[in-house]
Structure 1
Amino acid sequence: MKLIFSLLFLSLKFSYFFNPTIARGGEQNSNHSGLGRHLFEENRFQKLDNLARGYMSNSDLEKAIKAFDRRCANVSRIYSIGKSIQGVPLWVMEISDKPGEEEAEPSFKFIGNVHGDEPVGRELLLRLANWLCDNYMKDPLATLIIDNVHLHILPSMNPDGFSLRRRGNANNNDLNRDFPDQFFPLNDDVDTRQPETKAIMSWLRERHFTASASLHGGALVANYPWDGTQDKRTNYYACPDDEAFRFMASVYSSSHYNMSLSNEFQGGITNGASWYPVYGGMQDWNYIHGGCFELTLEISDNKWPTADELSTLWEFNRMSMLNLVASLVKTGIHGRIFSSDCGKPLPAFISVKGINYTIKASQAFADYHRLLAPGERYEVIATMPGYKSKRTSILLGEEAMTVDFVLDPEITPKGNILRSGYDCSCDHKSRFKLVEFSPWPYWEFSVILVLSLAFLCFLLKRRVIFNHIKYRQSVGPKRSGVV
């Protein structure tokens, strides 16, 4: 009997080592305590530290990012969105033909190393940046992306977790559980969020991204929203843009070497909640609060493969990453919204009938980029306070479609234009200030009168000067004097 209990005890202990870890949502087991847990963590760190040979350290990564920026300054710039708990800058590489400038183009972001013990993404993203730089104006796909998209790459969201060889950050918090959740009151207290999470949230408040993807490890699948369910059950839970997300995920999976051949996930894609529910995840938060269509990409069955496998993983994922970014301009509908009374761009709202999700055009150029699954008919509506809404029906093919809108201002019963808070004046702002304090007919008459008098004075003065010059010519030159 004692032998049976001993074997049972050992089997439970060793099952922890062989239990498969789920990259997107596997929770760390916190039941181990005392010496056993301490030894396990030491052994695990040593194992991962050995695997880390050949991977870039945080210092190496920073040097590589800065070297990339110097070498590719014509198509790149680097900036930091914040720092980790241990003070490591969260460096971002922006790649575009006009880096740092605002254009009427979509923006895409890649984020790697969300979990510290899933480092493949940080390596592949640096390779992606260098490949784009090396192939600009040589490869049509690289040229298409750089000329038409602002691509932002954050190779490591969790540099502290990487150096500690563990999933969580320096506070041992899972960053992919640290965002506000739509179903449950999680992470609503701003002060309790991790600095890495705050940095991502501030980043999205400052810049609008059309779409994005985070790179993980431990499986091979393209995951899309929703990640959770209202009742916490594991079942398919579709978001309003389910068709568009399925299309995006399929773009990545079908371009991958073997992701679409998965026996576990049909077509190599999965709805997050259908796989297993996640709460406080970054993916759903991006879509709800950032207006950004985000995928969670599991790009390697092995969380931490040896460094000599990185070149193979890069080749397996290269076309997938490129095609996903390029899909922002090669598919969907794009356009700008203008005012009919003065032609100024309007930062209006774009919605699609039957899809409960609205996007907003940019403030500067009023450009919008709406991801939609091809091969469907859509009714697209543009709305703006103070303007009459307009709609059009389109049949979206495999290629992108341009749909611009010109909105007419609302007219009040008295015949006045109903203005919104958006200034659509074609003249200088000071003119509006004068109008506010002077009745228009009298003000206009006064301006005309003043201009007429000024013109008459000019003619009279011109005649006097002309006569004076004529007189001087007739009497000859005179010596100058001081009066």
Structure 2
Amino acid sequence: MMGQLYLALLLLLPLAVGLDFSYHHTQEMEAFLKEVHRSHPDNTHLYSIGKSVEGRDLWVLALGRFPTQHTIGIPEFKYVANMHGDESVGRELMLHLIEFLVTSDEHDPVITRLLNSTRIHILPSINPDGFEATTQFDCFPPYGRYNANMQDLNRNFPDPFNSNNATVQPETQAVMNWIKNEMFVLSANLHGGSLVASYPFDNGNSVTITSDAISRTLDNDVFMHLARTYASNHAIMHKGTPCHNEDAFPEGITNGYAWYRLKGGMQDYNYIWGQCFEITLELSCCQYPPKEELPSFWNDNKMALIEYIKQVHLGVKGRVLDKHGTPIPDVIVEATGRQHVCPYKTHRNGEYYLLLLPGSYKLNATIPGFLSLLHDVYIPNGTANFSALQHDFVFPTEKPGRREMASCPMKPLYSLDYHKNTSATLKPTVNTLIFIYILYEVFR
């Protein structure tokens, strides 16, 4: 009994004096997260998205003015760390970020506005089993990269270019369900072993690979901006200084495929199936550096972590409604020239979010097989005001009943034939408009 009491007091000790700079194992991390939620119940929400192979909870702390559930107009952001269990810096940075956010709220005007306008989800460890298996402090530990089934979680997601025959792991499935159930707009995945911000695609084929050997998304300008935002606000990442025997990274950024090809990665999955822009942040040349170096890692990354969250307010957001103001789900809303292979659709409450750089765009809202609306918009830089441009679409009809749905097969997506098929998804709506116009002329 006394031993258990001593352990409980030991776990809570850092909370009384502030989070210490050391590596926090599962019990310590759980105690910290629970104490943060206990101390800040109004602006935090602690929940588990599932369990690891060995039964450890995958804890997430959500922060914001409405932390327990989605609020219309408030974008959802996430940080995910410790995907490879031996890449430990990101795990500790997430705990210190949580402490910084809750202690700065109502004191720092930037953090206060950020929490007023954003729901932030932080998953400090997606691979707690791997972290616990990393017993040797080393630049590149011999154990801990994989989960308890010896699977690399960043090779375990469905891949848009190649069939991925890997058995989906519990941790992977938990994240896929999490992405499906929330409405994430922007994300970053924290790794170690290099110092660079990497952006999609990680994989590719003849449809996406360009002459300069990158695998380009239709939102390449946005992804490069996101990577540059993090790198330029990092103390040294923007210098492009290589680690070990790597090539230098100009501006501290790289296209994932141009660096090395990766099948089954999480950032490609987020972009294709989650309607969420994600980049990968490599934050340390050593995967498991000495704990004495953690304060300098926090100082190097603190500003970049905050500035990156603010980018969730880029672009445009809004709702799609019928003439009675009823929200319409599953409406495709995309900028002309940026039609995604898996169409980006409104959610159950008719909401949409599109990350776009400032400029003029044509937005197309399409009810598949029924009707389209095309609007010209000018998008300012919403990060300055912590809010993307608000732009709603109102269809001059009743909310349609059963109708053709925009589908997205699971694998693989990127083939020339599939692009031919998806490029035609808007054509029926054009024909429908012509038909409606003819009926109007005949019967008016």
Normalised to the residue count of structure 2, the TM-score between the two structures is 0.76
1:230 and 2:205 aligned: yes
Q: Counterparts of 2:215 and 2:351 in 1: how far apart (Å)?
A: 31
1:120 and 2:95 aligned: no
Structure 2 letter corresponding to 1:419: P
In structure 2, the residue matched to 1:97 is 65
In structure 2, the residue matched to 1:16 is none
Q: Counterparts of 2:113 and 2:399 in 1: how far apart (Å)?
A: 42
Select which of 102, 107, 110 maps to 2:79: 110
SS at match of 2:339: strand
Counterparts of 1:294-373 in structure 2, within 5 Å, are 294-329=278-313, 331-340=314-323, 342-347=324-329, 348-357=331-340, 358-364=343-349, 366-373=350-357
- Is the Cα–Cα contact under 8 Å of residues 380 and 392 in structure 1 kept in the other structure? yes
Per the TM alignment, residue 419 of structure 1 is displaced from its structure 2 partner at its CA by 2.8
In structure 1, the residue matched to 2:189 is 214
Per the TM alignment, residue 418 of structure 1 is displaced from its structure 2 partner at its CA by 8.0
Q: Counterparts of 1:146 and 1:421 in 2: how far apart (Å)?
A: 39
Structure 2 letter corresponding to 1:202: N
In structure 2, the residue matched to 1:24 is none
1:378 and 2:361 aligned: yes
| Per-residue CA distance 1:158-201 (angstroms, 9 max, x = gap) | 1111111121011111110111112221136xxx2111111111
SS at match of 1:408: coil
- Is the Cα–Cα contact under 8 Å of residues 78 and 94 in structure 1 kept in the other structure? yes
1:156 and 2:125 aligned: yes
Structure 1 letter corresponding to 2:271: Y
| Per-residue CA distance 1:17-60 (angstroms, 9 max, x = gap) | xxxxxxxxxxxxxxxxxxxxxxxxxxxxxxxxxxxx93111111
SS at match of 1:202: helix
| Compared CA separation, residues 391 and 124, structure 1 to 2 (3 A) | same
Structure 2 letter corresponding to 1:160: D
Structure 1 letter corresponding to 2:49: I
Normalised to the residue count of structure 1, the TM-score between the two structures is 0.70
Q: Counterparts of 1:69 and 1:268 in 2: how far apart (Å)?
A: 35
Q: Counterparts of 1:388 and 1:315 in 2: how far apart (Å)?
A: 52
Per the TM alignment, residue 332 of structure 1 is displaced from its structure 2 partner at its CA by 0.9
Per the TM alignment, residue 270 of structure 1 is displaced from its structure 2 partner at its CA by 0.8
Q: Counterparts of 1:395 and 1:187 in 2: how far apart (Å)?
A: 44
Q: Tell which deviates more after alignment, 108-117 or 203-212.
A: 203-212
What is the root-mean-square deviation of aligned Cα atoms in Å? 2.0
Q: Counterparts of 1:370 and 1:219 in 2: how far apart (Å)?
A: 30
SS at match of 2:91: helix
SS at match of 1:125: helix
- Is the Cα–Cα contact under 8 Å of residues 377 and 395 in structure 1 kept in the other structure? yes
In structure 1, the residue matched to 2:233 is 255
Q: Counterparts of 1:164 and 1:418 in 2: how far apart (Å)?
A: 54
Per the TM alignment, residue 395 of structure 1 is displaced from its structure 2 partner at its CA by 3.0
- Is the Cα–Cα contact under 8 Å of residues 209 and 292 in structure 1 kept in the other structure? yes
Higher relative contact order (CA 8 A, sep 6+): 2
Structure with higher helix content: 1
Aligned length: 356
Q: Counterparts of 1:196 and 1:321 in 2: how far apart (Å)?
A: 24
Select which of 137, 143, 148 maps to 2:112: 143
SS at match of 1:212: strand
Q: Counterparts of 2:204 and 2:80 in 1: how far apart (Å)?
A: 25
Structure 1: runs of 5 or more not aligned:
1-52, 410-416, 423-483
1:406 and 2:375 aligned: no
Q: Counterparts of 1:87 and 1:203 in 2: how far apart (Å)?
A: 18
- Is the Cα–Cα contact under 8 Å of residues 22 and 294 in structure 2 kept in the other structure? no
Structure 1 letter corresponding to 2:203: G
1:419 and 2:400 aligned: yes
| Per-residue CA distance 1:380-429 (angstroms, 9 max, x = gap) | 111225763211222333334222211112xxxxxxx683339xxxxxxx
- Is the Cα–Cα contact under 8 Å of residues 187 and 280 in structure 1 kept in the other structure? no
Structure 1 letter corresponding to 2:151: N
Per the TM alignment, residue 345 of structure 1 is displaced from its structure 2 partner at its CA by 2.0
Structure 1 letter corresponding to 2:46: I
Q: Counterparts of 1:174 and 1:336 in 2: how far apart (Å)?
A: 38
Select which of 44, 47, 50 maps to 1:76: 44
Select which of 244, 248, 254 maps to 2:222: 244
